[in-house]
Structure 1
Amino acid sequence: MIRRWGWLLAGVAGGALTLLLMVVMPPDRTIDNPAEFVLRLAPVVFAVLAIGGFPQRPGIGLALLAMIVVGYMGVVDTLYTLRVLGLADATDQSAAFPSFYQMAIFVNAFTILAVLFGYRLGGAPSGRVLRLGFAATLVLVSGLNDITFFYLYDWPEGRPERFTWASHITVFTGSPASPAGAIAFCAVHLVLAGLVLALPWLRTRLHPRLPSRPESAASAPR
């Protein structure tokens, strides 16, 4: 029973935490400790678990994906645009930025989960969906977008020496990361993401005599 409906429990937990972070708690661009990092990441992890176990019903996949597109264009895109305009019109940019940053992080997670959901509804087995979801989560927190921003943005006063805004990296490094430190942090996460994706291949390489577990069975409608 738990296995059959576990996806729903994970979805409810992820939705409740999302409401807590997006509606109840005030916007905050800074992560102060590892516990807060886990809290911010937990909705994504629960969503990955929910999508990995989401039942595949013939005939409803197209409708659900269409609902995601409509929801994005009708709700997410509008809310994001309002946050951008609010930041642009704000007299105090520092005070307005956390609200924009909160929505930007939400859009990043929404995009990853939408792709993952489409992959699941397209017939992907649970194992592959979970591997892709957890690998994507590692990329999400890797700081890759912070690095590209650092090198592509035209800094008015010159490129800073530290990634002072990337508090999710600072939590683990102890102080704002240097460019080299941020690149190393990102590289570790990208390697881990690659390992997660390659788990079945690594399993057969390390234990060639073990029978491979077919993933196709997990894709059967249930």
Structure 2
Amino acid sequence: MFPRKPLGFLIFTALAVAAAAFVWFGLPHDREVKSLGIFLVKLLPFIFATEAVARLDVEWARRYRLALLLVPPAFLLYFLYFVPKIFFFGGVASGTAEAFHGLYYHVLTVTPFLILATVLAFRLGGGTAALVRRLSYGMLLLMLSGLEDLAFLTVNDHTDPAYATIPEVWDWASHMTVFLGHPPTKVEAYVFILVHVVLGLAVFFSPQRWWDVLKVRVVRTRTESV
């Protein structure tokens, strides 16, 4: 028999996913609202998701560590789909390098803010300090990994020949360049991404006792140095 505690959460989660899929794939992506009915339908994914979160049993979620299973994928949906789309359409619309650089800077500045806002809400809701650190630092590693650069090249329909295929040298990826000392080749970029993803997964899912031992050693080292 299915446990009753998560049932409401799972039902509304399924409704939210179904409604979001219908809105995204079944309705035109219009800037203007054409009717009150369409407006209300487009609100359904948000309403269902809100009800799902409100019905989430905290003890059940804590038992199965759902924060680590749900929060990072939600962040990645934003960072690996919506951010590349923003950059792609923003680059077309801005028309100048200066305007695009301003857009790029602001989006990448708001991203760590969203991470902090997420873990703040998690902490205020009773999340442990250990999970706050795992979520925050793990998502930061994913942000810095270069996954978004790869997503920009793959989720958008590029007409520029320079980006129609994945470039052999990623000369725009300055966050990789400062580590490597030169613009990364495609293979180096893949390795850079893989290392960061593995580190992020290690932060998310490694046993807590490892971190407890590390913390004890750091404290002991500090005490001995004093």
More helix by share: 2
Flag the structure with larger Rg: 2
Structure scoring higher RCO (CA < 8 A, sep ≥ 6) equals: 1
TM category, shorter:
0.3 to 0.5
